[in-house]
Structure 1
């Protein structure tokens, strides 16, 4: 219990505060609420343009032959939606942070988006700049600048308005007019400032701000795609969950930009017929590690349904339907796993093992790269199939992962079940 107390007092409290950080919450909201629908829509066209030709089936081959002459046209929606991912994130962060900072959220989103757009273009005759030349930096390669500017422009807007740098019109003026004039000064100060900074960088280095920041962050992106990073992330997630803190939320709030950069680069590589190298993405965890929910608890739900313990059987009945959609709070808090020394061990060990196996499968090319981020509620097999653009093997690996995790849970579950059965029998006799 000394270890548990140390974790609770020294680790969980600061990490809990981190999960509630205003900026990290705004970043997470920007990806999940604003960017995800755009990405999913574009991903549909990526699947259509790249049928799973590894499946030797006549309808698949006919599909491939039909789309080959018009593949570029089919990929147009994908390239545009993924290509403006950072623009969407910039707006989403401004909007989400604006709501939390009590400023006009729509105007904050628009300001963040315009500020980001100003950094993505070279400071030269804009009419002569091919759109395709800067598309990458409006998408995955511009995410870091979109995040930084989303935060800075919203905070600068709030600062200026709170300090009185805003036009306040008399009562009776229509609200939409009042709304426009209240943010006019922040727009007129912040946008020219960003433009000057972009001009300075372009004039001195011949690159845009997103290009400069991407070069700066590229070692971190590479490091986040390593096995030690993947293992460290999953261990932290599980330890946090074991203490009652939403581990995925804590880790993703920091790691999401790195995951999405890898995912965007994978999708772009596949669409161009090149090799994709990104492994550690959001679906790497949600689709291939959190099977049935965080901790890969699908097998555990089945064990509970078949248990001789009345308590476990009832929890299993409650947890079954949510588990189908990868939601397992009934297991984590109902079994419980939280602060349960017996079940905490397989809860951490199982995901660590399957993350290790999956990393090897992706790194060796046995599994095709993840190119799509399905919603985390997509059931087992379908999630892996969709995430990899139509790999049946990826769906089967999800099932195998669930079996491996179940085998790890089994001896610990039986030990815990025995304890509960003895307690239930004692209660009956008493």
Structure 2
């Protein structure tokens, strides 16, 4: 067995079971789906600062300036009811997907989860107004845990039949409502008790404050370039073995959402942005032209000497411009190809993290907008509206070509040899066929 085959077998035995468990784990699956559902809300919240910036574009128009002076509150509402309530939307989304996975009453699960979250995080101010400061990203991780815990409690009560059952013939919506009574009572007592004991033990702190303190090392770890580089390499390692990197999204997505929210808040207040990595920067720079920044390989294939690779390059070009590189991942292929392991995993991670290094040290603006998937250069520019971004991504493309080309040349030469052997075999068969025809003619036989 070759060295690479042994390495492949070892990593497959480690990574594949982990990926399968993460993908099939019902709680992580609900978190992943819930984070994806939040994308439109995050997009709307991210648009707030660019909308405010339009005031500067029309600086010579008194009418536009006056409109912004009188109606800026509308944009502020967009921020408040998107990012300002992101924890509430998280509770709803995760409770929905988790209860759907368990096939229990979805509306009831969402109601219980929201009820639990409000008990743990909301206070009443002296003037009678509600203190909802943990409805934003500061309450995000509490929202995740509360949604999971509430749905699990509800499931426990329903499976153990610890609910009020109505007689046959009662409408389903009425019966389901009565089934909520006992779990709701239990949850009320449980979460009020948790809130009381946490506040009593910590001198008045709420659960989200404690949870943020406990998770601070984990959440803050992605502000470290070495940790981000490790995460990028791990994602590419998963891809190399044919495992979609989305298996890591239940861990990464909540952190990215919190980072984006904090960056937008800082941008709105004209403060320095605290984070250099968000979901948008991963999409626009780390996955630029696809995971592993594979456009350089696509270009190399388009100028290949072999017909097969030229066709794969031509088919892969347009999708790569939109960040879709499955045609080259499976067509080259990159997956399980020992020749491309180094340029894809090591080279792709270094090229992907390069713009993030520039952001970290202030040479490139930090992100405050997660744009939708857009073609080459547009998505990267929109993350921070920095004019230097397209030039940085041009460097990424050139680096990608330089990294992939020497390794691809080995593949191209191997394919040239294979094509020559196939052609020789065809010519050999053609010669034998011609001789057979000549022999049949000499014998006067005609088939």
TM-score (norm 1): 0.90
CA contact (8 A) 1:46 1:78 kept: no
Q: Flag the structure with larger Rg.
A: 2
The answer for the alignment partner of 2:219 in structure 1 is 221
Q: Distance in 1 between matches of 2:189 and 2:221?
A: 35
Q: Find the residue that maps to 1:374 and give its secondary structure.
A: coil
Residues 281 and 380 in structure 2, CA contact (< 8 A), matched pair in contact too? no
Q: Residue 128 of structure 1 corresponds to which residue in structure 2?
A: 128
Shift in alpha-carbon separation, 1:179–1:130, aligned structure 2, 3 A: closer
1:192 aligns with 2:189: yes
**Is the aligned partner of 1:42 residue 2:45?**
yes
Q: 1:107 to 1:314 in 2, by over 3 A?
A: farther
Tell me, in whole angstroms, the C-alpha distance in 2 between the residues paired with 1:366 and 1:384.
Answer: 15
Q: Which moved more, 1:169-178 or 1:211-220?
A: 169-178
What is the CA deviation profile of residues 48-86 of structure 1, one whole-angstrom value per residue up to 9, with x for unaligned ones? 113596xxxx64776995646754542221132101111
Could you tell me which runs of 5 or more consecutive residues in structure 2 were left unpaired when the two chains were aligned: 426-447
How far apart, CA to CA, are the structure 2 residues paired with 1:217 and 1:121? Answer: 20
Shift in alpha-carbon separation, 1:367–1:119, aligned structure 2, 3 A: same
**Residues 373-395 of structure 1: per-residue CA shift (max 9 Å, x gap):** 223x322211112222x223234
Q: CA deviation at 1:19?
A: 3.3
Residue 345 of structure 2 is aligned to residue 348 of structure 1? yes
Do 1:236 and 1:251's aligned partners in 2 also have CA atoms closer than 8 Å? no
| 1:130 Cα offset (Å) | 5.2
Query: What residue number does 1:384 align with?
Result: 380
SS of residue paired to 1:128:
coil
Q: How far did 1:286 drift? A: 1.3
Q: 2 CA distance for matches of 1:328 and 1:347? A: 12
SS class of match (2:275): coil
Q: Work out whether residues 286 and 353 of structure 2, in 8 Å CA contact, stay in contact via their aligned partners in 1.
A: no
In the alignment, which of 313, 319, 324 is matched to residue 327 of structure 1? 324
Partner SS for 2:251? helix
The DSSP-based 3-state class of the residue aligned with 1:414 is: helix
Deviation at 1:219, TM superposition (A): 2.2
The answer to whether the Cα contact below 8 Å between 1:309 and 1:417 also exists between their aligned partners in 2 is yes
- Alignment map for 1:25-424 (pairs within 5 Å): 25-33=29-37, 35-51=38-54, 59=58, 67=68, 70-122=71-123, 124=124, 128-129=128-129, 131=131, 134-135=132-133, 137-204=134-201, 205-247=203-245, 249-375=246-372, 377-388=373-384, 390-424=385-419
Query: 1:127 and 1:220 mapped to 2: Cα distance?
Result: 37
Q: Give me the whole-angstrom Cα distance separating, in 1, the residues matched to 2:251 and 2:143.
A: 15
**TM superposition shift of 1:416:** 1.2
Aligned length: 418
Structure 1 unmatched runs, 5+: none
- On the 8 A contact 1:88/1:113 being kept in 2, the answer is no
- CA–CA distance in structure 2, aligned partners of residues 125 and 268 of structure 1: 23
Evaluate the alpha carbon distance shift between residue 107 and residue 424 of structure 1 in structure 2; reply closer, same or farther with a 3 A threshold: farther
4+ residue runs of structure 1 moved beyond 3 angstroms? 50-53, 58-73, 124-127
Q: 1:365 to 1:99 in 2, by over 3 A?
A: same
Distance (Å, rounded) in 2 between the aligned partners of 1:114 and 1:378: 39
**Which residue is 1:429 aligned to?**
424
CA distance in 2, matches of 1:47, 1:234: 29
Contact map agreement 2:137 2:261 (CA 8 A) in 1? yes
Instruction: Give the 3 Å change call, closer, same or farther, for CA 263–200 of structure 1 in structure 2.
Output: same
| 2:223–2:275 Cα contact (<8 Å) kept | yes
* Aligned-pair CA distance for 1:171: 2.9
Normalized against structure 2, the TM-score is what?
0.87
For residues 193 and 32 of structure 1, what CA distance do their matches in structure 2 show? 30
Residue in 2 aligned with 1:8? 12
1:396, 1:404 → 2: CA distance? 12
> 1:12 deviation in Å?
3.0
